[in-house]
């Protein structure tokens, strides 16, 4: 009965899990003096979200 | 700087904000909405960045490097799911005219007033100090920019009191103008979006000035002695995880965030842009946080919380300092205005209105008055708290404490969207547990640290009981205060919510709401009407009129059923009311004017089933209707072709009586041929219609397939000879008889042979008819050496009027569809393969009767 999850929804879920891990312990390690790397990782996550949602044509 | 200049700038800024909001409202009224753009929506979410973060981030960074960052990483995480999770919330809110987060949660769990009231109370407790914090930020910023200030003046001489009143005025003018709280506040949203731009520009301008104007770029800056603390590991690294989680929840659950993200959303599609645009905004506004912290430390400035203002002042850039002040002002005012709008709606709809619903008469004006009064009271409470708490620890730490308070809504909210088993009792128990633990482990210790409770409350614990120590509850060690509080409050909140929900199955009303929320993306969800009883349309209209006015109510009910109301109308009326007074009050109001039958859980399942069936039936009808239209247009098209040529020839014959006899004979032959084609077509259309409608007569008997094939071959003989084609018949000996209509079977074989004859090359055609038994089927195949049928078209040729390929000359386009209907009626199937003769091979498989049915 349920509509199948769209590919974009699955990608976003995967990105959420990945970003949740990235934003925690690994990034905390990096945070010792390498702030630039933290901001770069943050920007990559944002870019991935943009890439996923802007090309999803799901108009449900 | 002269105080008059600072105050003048501040009020000029607020005035500009008024003008902008009024202009946006006017544009909206003229049908040229500003907030219909995804970027405006995205920027309005920037209300998340309050003065606490505008000034506080640099303060945190000066104390411990990237420790300020989780507050922004959390929202980034949450926004990853904007396109999925938030879209569900927005869809629900739109469909049921949800007005606030309290309304959302109350509505989901059976339109519960108690639950909505509890959410409102907790939000209120968390928000009042948060508003106070904003006022304090403005006051301290003023003190820095205008030079140190003497002791606090009396309240009437205090600029902050008047700022609070101006903000209340702004909120009333643009956040509580109309009655329907689920409607969009165009001016408010436009102003908030503009404020987001102002604070970003101000912050970035200060950052750029400091890094490249006062220092020689970032390398120089970070190399300075004294800047080191800004690059060290976060001081409270242990809280990193808790902070990410907290801010992830708050970006959706803070009343102001829910207001801009959900209630003010005009188009789900905007979430697409906001999903990355808002995190990008957060990133941009944070790029200069570390450099500013490093610069302040390097210069040895006091009080990191004011670096954003003190640095440009130290660099001699007074105008820039003023801009930074305006940036902070915009961060604070944006937060206050939206928070006040959201919380006032909650207080009005979920705390005050339930007490007043018994009153008769028009209530629209009253509702609006209550909402406006709530705004003023909220801001005055915030001001009072600011005056009383002042420099207390409780105020400085309130940002995170507020976050933790609203995080308690998370289990109920997520459960509302994804779990049909959640109940009102479960949500209430979970929320209550979470709120108590939040107060005990986070709020009370902060109050104790401010000296308003005995210090012994924190250590060694109340009544000296070590296991009751609020920051080491039940002896839990090794966690920082925030993580500890979050672990107990949110953990037990979720556990109690699930446990209590599971203890008892949801009531019918809870189950109905659960379906409406959880299945919101399902197409059939909108057609479910969970209401049984007796109601009159006039009563409902009168009820709605009490809130929205008679004129508007008449417009809303125009064209809807009169007399007795059906469930759909009741639901409509309830949704209209919900937009004004919230779901819980709307439910109670509607129940007061209609006679309702209580629904049983079994009814809910039946209603869902009915709605699904109805939807499927409608979809089927629609598609049948379309097919019928296609069919009629094809038939008329096919009829017109022979008619046109008959008419043309007949006109020729009429107009030229002197025509030579041979020519006349040729024309007459054309008329005869075309008339035959016409009658064949009409017969076939009638035939097909009969078969399809099930009215065809079937004379079933024992049929010898070999005999039927022989008859068909004989009938097709003339046609084949005419085309110069050779027919070869291969039949296995002793085929068992079939149970079928002999004439119909022959018709199929004849159709296939005629079809083959049309496609074989003139003069050297080969057609083969084969009969054999395979498994439980008798098979007949007609092979030809024509052009064949491409794999992609092998199903299409069985559709009406879809003649295969361009080579098709004559024929009605109905032979194969009829054949397929006949074969399917006989329980068999028909398909196309490649033929060994080089053309197409049409195969018919017909099931043999099962042994016990074999006729003796």
Burial of B730 (0-12, 13-18, 19+ CB in 10 A): exposed
pLDDT band, residue B43 (cuts 50/70/90): very high
Instruction: Report the CATH number at residue B839.
Output: 3.30.565.10
Asked if residue B704 and residue B673 are part of one domain, the reply reads no
* Residues B346, B289 share a domain: yes
Q: Quote the pLDDT of residue A25.
A: 67
Q: How far apart are CA B292 and CA B79, in angstroms?
A: 27
The reply to whether B238 and B320 lie within a common domain is yes
Domain extents in chain A: 7-54
For residue B283, list chain A residues with Cβ-Cβ distance below 8 A: 39, 42-43, 46
In chain A, the largest separation of any two C-alpha atoms, in whole Å, equals: 52
B707 and B688 housed in the same domain: no
Distance CA B745, CA B227 (A): 95
Owner of token pair 């009311």: B577
Q: Which residues of A touch B (CB under 8 A)?
A: 1-3, 8-9, 12-13, 15-16, 19-20, 23-24, 27-28, 31-33, 35, 38-39, 42-43, 45-47, 49-50, 52-54, 56, 59-60
pLDDT of amino acid B782: 92
- A50 and B287 within 8 Å at the Cβ level: the answer is no
| Closest to B195 measured CA to CA, from B38, B47, B41 | B47
Q: Is residue B401 part of a domain?
A: no
Pair B278, B181 in one domain: yes
pLDDT of residue B808: 44
Would you place residue B283 in the very low, low, confident or very high pLDDT band (cuts 50, 70, 90)? very high
The number of folded domains in chain B is: 5
The answer on B770 and B638 residing in a single domain is no
* CATH number of the domain where residue B64 is located: 1.20.1730.10
The per-residue pLDDT for B127 is 86
Q: How far apart are CA B359 and CA B381, in angstroms?
A: 28
pTM greater than the 0.80 cutoff: no
Q: What is the DSSP letter of B77?
A: H
On whether both B413 and B489 belong to a single domain, the answer is yes
> Chain B residue with minimal CA distance to A50?
B276
The pLDDT score that the predictor gives to residue A4 is 47
**In terms of domains, do B206 and B94 share one?**
yes
pLDDT bracket for residue B277 (50, 70, 90): very high
Residues B375-388: tens digit of each pLDDT: 899 888 888 888 88
Tokens of B441: 């482990």
B833 within some domain? yes
Query: What is the rounded distance in angstroms from the CA atom of residue B467 to the CA atom of residue B723?
Result: 103
Position B815 in a domain: yes
C-alpha to C-alpha distance for B137 and B309, rounded to whole angstroms: 12
**All residues at 6 or more sequence positions from B137 whose CB lies less than 8 Å from its CB, including other chains:** B51, B52, B54, B55, B328, B331, B332
The interface predicted TM-score of the complex, written ipTM, equals 0.89
Instruction: Indicate the average pLDDT of chain B.
Output: 82
Calculate what percentage of chain B has a pLDDT beyond 90. Answer: 9
Q: What is residue A60's predicted lDDT score, i.e. its pLDDT?
A: 43
pLDDT single digits (tens) B136-157: 888 888 888 887 654 556 666 6
Same domain, B721 and B655: no
Residue B524 has pLDDT above 70, yes or no: no
User: What pLDDT, in 10s, does the model give residues B456-475?
Assistant: 666 766 666 666 677 777 76
Burial label, B76 (beta-carbon count in 10 A; 0-12, 13-18, 19+): buried
| B420 and B387 inside one domain | no
What range does the domain containing B719 cover? 700-853
DSSP state of B780: E
What is the pLDDT averaged over residues B766-777? 88
Please check whether residue B797 is in contact with residue B757, taking contact to mean a CB–CB distance below 8 angstroms.
no
Domain-embedded: residue B399: no
% chain B with pLDDT above 70: 90
Local confidence band at B548 (pLDDT 50, 70, 90 cut-offs): confident
Asked whether residue B402 is domain-assigned, the answer is no
Q: Are residues B608 and B631 in the same domain?
A: yes
Q: Has residue B53 been placed in a domain?
A: yes
Alpha-carbon distance A27 to nearest alpha carbon in chain B (angstroms): 10
Amino acid A27: pLDDT: 66
pLDDT at B807 over 50: no
Which tokens in the block code for residue B62? 């000066």
Tens of pLDDT, residue by residue over B669-683, are: 888 888 888 888 888
Closest residue in chain B to residue A23, using alpha carbons only: B73
For B348, other C-beta atoms within 10 Å of its C-beta total 29
Query: Looking at the structure, do residues B59 and B181 belong to the same domain, yes or no?
Result: yes
Does residue B769 form part of some domain? yes
Please tell me the distance in Å from B240's CA to the nearest CA on chain A. Answer: 7
**Domain end (from B371, B394, B417):** B394
Average pLDDT, chain A: 75
């Amino acid at each position: 009965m349920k509509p199948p999850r769209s590919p974009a929804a699955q990608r976003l879920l995967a990105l959420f899990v990945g970003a949740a891990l990235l934003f925690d312990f690994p990034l905390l390690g990096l945070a010792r003096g390498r702030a630039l790397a933290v901001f770069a990782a943050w920007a990559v996550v944002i870019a991935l979200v943009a890439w996923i949602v802007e090309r999803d044509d799901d108009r449900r | 700087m002269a105080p008059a200049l600072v105050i003048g700038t501040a009020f000029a800024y607020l005035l500009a904000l008024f003008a902008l909001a009024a202009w946006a409202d006017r544009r909206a009224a003229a049908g040229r909405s500003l907030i219909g753009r995804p970027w405006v929506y995205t920027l309005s979410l920037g209300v998340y960045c309050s003065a606490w973060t505008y000034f506080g981030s640099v303060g945190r960074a000066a104390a411990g490097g990237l420790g300020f960052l989780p507050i922004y990483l959390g929202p980034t995480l949450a926004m990853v799911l904007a396109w999925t999770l938030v879209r569900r919330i927005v869809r629900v809110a739109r469909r049921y005219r949800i007005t606030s987060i309290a309304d959302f949660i109350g509505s989901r769990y059976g339109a519960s007033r108690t639950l909505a009231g509890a959410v409102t109370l907790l939000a209120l407790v968390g928000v009042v100090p948060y508003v106070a914090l904003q006022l304090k930020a403005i006051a301290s910023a003023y003190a820095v920019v205008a030079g140190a200030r003497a002791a606090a003046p009396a309240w009437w001489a205090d600029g902050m009191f008047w700022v609070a009143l101006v903000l209340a005025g702004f909120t009333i003018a643009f956040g509580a103008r109309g009655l329907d709280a689920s409607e969009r506040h165009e001016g408010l949203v436009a102003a908030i979006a503009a404020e987001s731009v102002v604070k970003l520009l101000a912050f970035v301008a200060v950052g750029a000035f400091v890094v490249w104007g006062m220092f020689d770029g970032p390398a120089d800056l970070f190399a300075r002695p004294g800047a080191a603390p800004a690059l060290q590991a976060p001081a409270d690294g242990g809280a990193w995880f808790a902070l990410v989680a907290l801010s992830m929840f708050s970006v959706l659950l803070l009343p102001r965030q829910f207001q801009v993200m959900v209630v003010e959303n005009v188009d789900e599609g905007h979430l697409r842009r906001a999903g990355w645009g808002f995190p990008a905004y957060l990133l941009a506004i944070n790029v200069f946080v570390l450099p500013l912290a490093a610069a302040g430390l390097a210069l040895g400035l006091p009080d990191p919380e004011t670096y954003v203002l003190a640095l440009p002042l130290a660099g001699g850039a007074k105008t820039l300092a003023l801009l930074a002040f305006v940036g902070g002002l915009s961060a604070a005012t944006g937060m206050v205005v939206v928070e006040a709008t959201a919380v006032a709606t909650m207080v009005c709809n979920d705390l005050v209105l339930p007490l007043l619903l018994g009153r008769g008469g028009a209530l629209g004006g009253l509702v609006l008055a209550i909402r406006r009064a709530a705004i003023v009271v909220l801001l005055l409470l915030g001001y009072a708290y600011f005056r009383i708490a002042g420099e207390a620890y409780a105020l400085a730490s309130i940002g995170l404490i507020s976050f933790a308070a609203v995080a308690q809504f998370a289990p109920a909210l997520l459960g509302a969207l994804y779990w049909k088993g959640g109940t009102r009792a479960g949500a209430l128990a979970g929320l209550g547990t979470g709120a108590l633990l939040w107060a005990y482990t986070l709020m009370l210790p902060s109050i104790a640290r401010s000296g308003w409770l005995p210090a012994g409350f924190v250590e060694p614990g109340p009544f000296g009981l070590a296991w009751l120590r609020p920051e080491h509850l039940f002896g839990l060690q090794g966690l920082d205060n925030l993580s500890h509080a979050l672990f107990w409050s949110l953990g037990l909140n979720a556990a109690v919510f699930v446990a209590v929900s599971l203890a008892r199955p949801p009531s019918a009303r809870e189950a109905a709401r659960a379906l409406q929320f959880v299945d919101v993306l399902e197409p059939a969800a909108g057609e479910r009407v969970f209401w049984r009883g007796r109601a009159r349309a006039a009563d409902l209209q009168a009820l709605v009129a009490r809130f929205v006015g008679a004129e508007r109510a008449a417009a809303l009910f125009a064209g809807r059923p009169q007399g007795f109301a059906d469930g759909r109308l009741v639901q409509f009326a309830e949704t209209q009311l919900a937009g004004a007074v919230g779901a819980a009050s709307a439910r109670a109001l509607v129940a007061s004017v209609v006679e309702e039958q209580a629904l049983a859980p079994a009814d809910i399942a039946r209603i869902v089933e009915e709605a699904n069936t109805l939807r499927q039936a409608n979809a089927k009808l629609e598609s049948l209707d379309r097919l019928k239209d296609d069919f009629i247009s094809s038939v008329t098209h096919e009829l017109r072709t022979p008619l046109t040529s008959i008419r043309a020839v007949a006109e020729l014959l009429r107009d030229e009586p002197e025509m030579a006899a041979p020519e006349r004979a040729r024309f007459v032959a054309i008329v005869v041929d075309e008339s035959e084609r016409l009658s064949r077509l009409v017969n076939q259309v009638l035939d097909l219609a009969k078969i399809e409608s099930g009215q065809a007569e079937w004379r079933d008997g024992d049929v010898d397939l070999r005999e039927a094939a022989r008859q068909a071959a004989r009938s097709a003989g003339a046609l084949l000879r005419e085309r110069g084609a050779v027919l070869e018949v291969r039949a296995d000996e002793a085929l068992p008889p079939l149970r079928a209509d002999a004439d119909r079977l022959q018709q199929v074989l004849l159709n296939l042979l005629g079809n083959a004859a049309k496609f074989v090359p003139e003069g050297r055609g080969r057609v083969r008819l084969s009969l054999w038994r395979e498994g439980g089927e008798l098979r007949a195949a007609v092979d030809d050496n024509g052009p064949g049928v491409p794999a992609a078209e092998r199903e299409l040729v069985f559709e009406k009027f879809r003649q295969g390929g361009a080579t098709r000359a004559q024929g009605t386009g109905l032979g194969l569809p009829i054949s397929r209907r006949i074969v399917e009626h006989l329980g068999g199937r028909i398909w196309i393969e490649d033929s060994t003769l080089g053309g197409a091979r049409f195969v018919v498989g017909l099931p043999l009767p099962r042994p016990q049915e074999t006729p003796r």
